[in-house]
Structure 1
Amino acid sequence: MSTVTRAAAGDVSAYTFANADEQGRTQLQILADILDEHSTGMLLRAGITTGWRCLDVGPGGGTITTWMAEQVGPSGHVTALDLDPRHVTGGDNITIRKDDVRTADLPPGEFDLIHVRLVLLHLAERDAVLDRLVAALRPGGVLVVSDWDATDRNMLLQAPTPQAAEAFNAFQDGLLAALEANGADTGWARRVPLAMRAAGLEVVDTVVHNRLWAGGGAGNLLHESNSHQLHDALLARGMTVEQLAALREAMRDPQTLAYCYWMFTTIGRRPH
């Protein structure tokens, strides 16, 4: 029987990546390059249209916030909520809120659409946050949740050298250990439909997205960027300076072929 794992009472979490880091803007642009086409397609599938009131949780670089604002037009509105929204651009129908989704005031029944990408997997309090987001939906409103699933470790198809392959695997081990130490659940994305049902939503659809990237492509440049942000944490978890250098070189080598993480996007609707 399937079950939904909920974080234990009192669990807390910390974001592993920081928008303020010198790699922050680069990382967010890479994520947009990898994911925005998929995300906008799913938001269209969710029905976004003129006049909707939307909430974009964890907007990062703000590319989806801006796109949503274009879709809802001047009669609609988008609120971008982030702990550090420094990279989000405002607009006539965009409100930028610097706040924590775990504690932010979210008026009940306020939004037609809530979009959450690469946020909930990081939060030990994800189930409580999901409940808060559901309450903020109007009856008939939709919640779109996108998260990586990092449980599949067969990502590397080809590396330029055995040393590069070893460095890639060591990097993945260290990265996932750092995420989990901060409260992340790298398998949560697969269980989102169950969590949505437990929170009272009707699950409309789940789509799984991935593609193969050569070295120099966004999927591999993400690993390079992450390795810089987590440099000290990776060394503390057993990687060597030589391995980090080998990883970064391989992520730009056209001979490298690697899949990205699987992106699970689930659409849930609040019953009327």
Structure 2
Amino acid sequence: MLTTTSGDTGHGSSRYTFDNADEQGPRMLGLLSGILDEHSTSTLAGPAVGVGAGWRCLDIGPGAGSITGWLSERVGPDGEVTALDLQPDHVTAGGNVKVQRGDIRYIDLPANYYDLIHARLVFEHLTDPDRVLDRIVPALAPGGRLVLSEWDVLSWQHWLLHTPSQDHAAAFGSFQQALFRVLSDNGANLPWASRVPLAMLTAGLELVHSEGSMRLAKGGEPLCLLHESNSLQLHTRLVATGLVTADQLRLLREAMNDPQTLAYSYQMFTTVGRKTA
């Protein structure tokens, strides 16, 4: 995930909502890895991508660096992996891994170079993801793959299956609405996840396809604990929206730790496109 402080760091008013330097940062990154890595590696190893020995890869917004590490092993000593982030403090360089500090909206990338460009939960935080997509496609080598994974956060009404009480359910809904307000105020492009295939086709990629996936979790499991972590990190800003109260955030945290709670994850859309060989 793209990492930066909550200050303005890019084109227009776009800024990243979460702060990985916050005390909740390492916990959030660990939860995301636990939730998403199996899905990501399955896609990257599968027939539509098939990352192999000798590939040159760019991992944008690597978060805890778990996918960077997986790619490093996959491409072997003859390949290379560049982890690009505004704050790449959680990724270790060495061997075939290069860590680069920079902003994907502005950094110069080598033309026709990467066999794979991968980003997870990055572009949805940008006000202008289509423009950034147009910037990175030329960096793909002929036949290179672009893989973008984004959460659809607009269908929240269908996520919560059961909570200990109606008050807990109401708190969950108020939290989600407040979170989306904070994200929108920071310039996030919330409808982006479902638009990625069209954006890739418009950018000139071929063999574009997308798959959606979601999972059910009990309270106390990583999918639910991520909501708790986000509510702790953003507590002040969430309450300031007027859409959720401090008491409701307390109830949310109770629910997310209660095994009676059943909640679906956000729906993940993973889209793959190929540059013409």
Match of 1:61 among 55, 60, 64: 64
Residue in 2 that maps onto 1:164:
168
Tell me, yes or no, if the aligned pair for 2:14 and 2:126 is still in contact at 8 Å: yes
Report the CA distance between 1:176 and its aligned residue.
0.6
Which of 193, 197, 220 pairs up with 1:193? 197
Aligned equivalent of 2:144, options 141, 145, 149? 141
Partner residue in 2 for 1:22: 23
Q: Hey, what does 1:209 align to over in structure 2?
A: 213
User: Is residue 2:271 matched to residue 1:270?
Assistant: no
The offset of 1:11, in angstroms, is 3.5
Aligned length: 263
Matched ranges for 1:1-272 at <5 A: 11-45=12-46, 46-153=49-156, 154-238=158-242, 239-272=244-277
8 Å contact 2:197–2:210 — kept in the other structure? yes
| 1:102/1:125 contact within 8 Å kept | no
| Distance (whole Å) between structure 1 residues aligned to residue 196 and residue 51 of structure 2 | 21
How big is the alpha-carbon RMSD for the aligned residues of Structure 1 and Structure 2?
A: 1.0
Q: Which TM-score applies when normalising by structure 1? A: 0.95
SS at match of 1:251: helix
List per-residue Cα deviations over 1:64-99 (Å, max 9, x = no partner): 000000000000000000011111122300000111
- Structure 1 CA distance, aligned partners of 2:203 and 2:187? 21
Q: Which amino acid aligns with 1:222?
A: L
State the SS of the aligned residue for 2:109: coil
After superposing on structure 2, the runs of 4+ consecutive aligned residues of structure 1 that deviate more than 2 Å are none
Percent identity between matched residues is: 56
- 1-structure distance, mates of 2:207, 2:254: 42
**Cα shift at 1:175:** 0.4
Which consecutive unaligned segments of at least 5 residues does structure 2 have?
Answer: 1-10
Structure-1 separation of matches of 2:225 and 2:94 = 30
Q: Distance in 1 between matches of 2:12 and 2:155?
A: 26
Asked if 2 retains the 8 angstrom alpha-carbon contact of 1:215 and 1:254, the reply is yes
Shift of 1:205: 2.5
Does the 8 A contact of 1:205 with 1:268 survive in 2?
yes
What is the rounded CA distance, in whole Å, between the counterparts of 2:144 and 2:241 in structure 1? 43
CA contact (8 A) 2:197 2:208 kept: no
AA matched with 2:273: G
Output the CA distance in 2 between the equivalents of 1:180 and 1:241: 21
